[in-house]
Amino acid sequence: MMPSHIETSVMDQIIDRAVEQNPHSSGLIKAFGPIIARQRQLTSSIDLPPLDYSSVDKEKLRAGVSVISQISLFSPDDPLKEIALSLTEAVKEGMPKLTAELDRLSGLISTGKLRLADYFEAHPGNENKAIDGWENNLKISPSNASFLLSLIARVLLERRAREITEAMGEFAWEKGYCPICGEFPSIALIEEEGGKRFLHCSSCGQGWGFTRVVCPYCEKEASKEMDYFYVESKTQESAFVCDKCKKYLVTLYRAGRLHARDMDVSAISLVHLDMIMQDKGYEPMTACAWNVLS
């Protein structure tokens, strides 16, 4: 398994560098590091049943209908148990305080008392019913269940996003939410060269280009320079803010491509901006495990 070894070591370097450059976020980066590393490894290596993407319609995409609104991206044959048990080990590594609860959760999953498919089969729409059922019948904390489910979904969706991009080639997409899974972005990246803005989805890992002068959340036109909030002395980091919908989007400026980057690690590294913006009364465009602060 050479490839995943290489990926693991690249991931370790990314995490080490993030800790070094963002000492204020080091606790959070170290907690999420092993989880993100395991997710990337699973995304590349796990065997998933094939899905048929031939009915995904490029015209619908152009009109803003995401892939997940067109076809189901979860299969009844997805290896949910295998992914879940691997991820709970990684969560324990990063967040040892959760060990007892996660061991209980793993036990229920491996004996089949907790059927993860109940959640994914109901997705999207009725998935919270499954979580309520686990809370009532198995005394599972809904926040831990949701956390684990979002981690599993990311592995499945990121792999599907890659397959879709490969199967479909280029397609037009002009929305501020994700073309694959329909979630709003967790972070944006602006390339120094050309100044283009790329949005990143933490639910499935997809990235896409989006105009800099429109709010990705409510589509209000924003003037180019007015709507960015900077922390003094940090010119590479900012938050796009929209005064219409009161949302913000953490934004990173990239001067070069010297180092490999993981956008989720970057988003976690910039959590001080989440604190500042939420303190000012703004909300993130999407809730992530690391940016729900109050």
Question: Which alpha helices (DSSP H) does 56-181 contain, by range?
Answer: 58-62, 67-70, 80-94, 99-110, 117-121, 127-138, 142-168
> Which range touches Zn ion (CB under 5 A), out of 122-130, 194-202, 226-234, 248-256?
194-202
Q: How far is the CB of 206 from Zn ion (least distance, A)?
A: 5
Terminal C-alpha separation, the chain: 42
Q: How far is the CB of 214 from Zn ion (least distance, A)?
A: 9
Note whether 244 binds Zn ion by CB under 5 A. yes
**Own/partner pairs, 174-177, CB within 8 angstroms, 24+ separation:** 174/62, 174/64, 174/210, 175/64, 175/66, 175/210, 175/216, 176/210, 176/214, 176/215, 176/216, 176/217, 176/219, 176/285, 177/66, 177/216
Q: Which of 218, 231, 255, 292 binds Zn ion (CB under 5 A)?
A: 218
Q: Which is nearer to Zn ion, 155 or 201 (CB)?
A: 201
Note whether 201 binds Zn ion by CB under 5 A. yes
Q: Which of 120, 134, 208, 217 binds Zn ion (CB under 5 A)?
A: 217
Q: Which is nearer to Zn ion, 73 or 190 (CB)?
A: 73
Note whether 206 binds Zn ion by CB under 5 A. yes
- Give CA–CA dist 243/13, Å, rounded: 38
Q: CA dist 73 to 154, 157, 171, Å?
A: 11, 7, 18
Note whether 178 binds Zn ion by CB under 5 A. yes
Note whether 267 binds Zn ion by CB under 5 A. no
Q: How far is the CB of 104 from Zn ion (least distance, A)?
A: 30
Q: Which of 130, 242, 267, 285 binds Zn ion (CB under 5 A)?
A: 242
Q: Which of 164, 180, 188, 268 binds Zn ion (CB under 5 A)?
A: 180
Q: Which is nearer to Zn ion, 140 or 187 (CB)?
A: 187
Q: Which residues contact 170 (CB under 8 A, 6 or more apart)?
A: none
Q: Which of 29, 98, 181, 187 binds Zn ion (CB under 5 A)?
A: 181
Q: Which is nearer to Zn ion, 218 or 231 (CB)?
A: 218
Q: CA dist 242 to 56, 87, 251, Å?
A: 32, 36, 13
Q: Give the phi and the psi of residue 2 in degrees, each rounded to 5.
A: -55, -50
Note whether 124 binds Zn ion by CB under 5 A. no
Q: Which is nearer to Zn ion, 130 or 241 (CB)?
A: 241
Note whether 10 binds Zn ion by CB under 5 A. no
User: What type of residue sits at position 129?
Assistant: K
Give the interface with Zn ion as residue ranges (CB under 5 A): 178, 180-181, 183, 201, 203-204, 206, 215, 217-218, 220, 242, 244-245
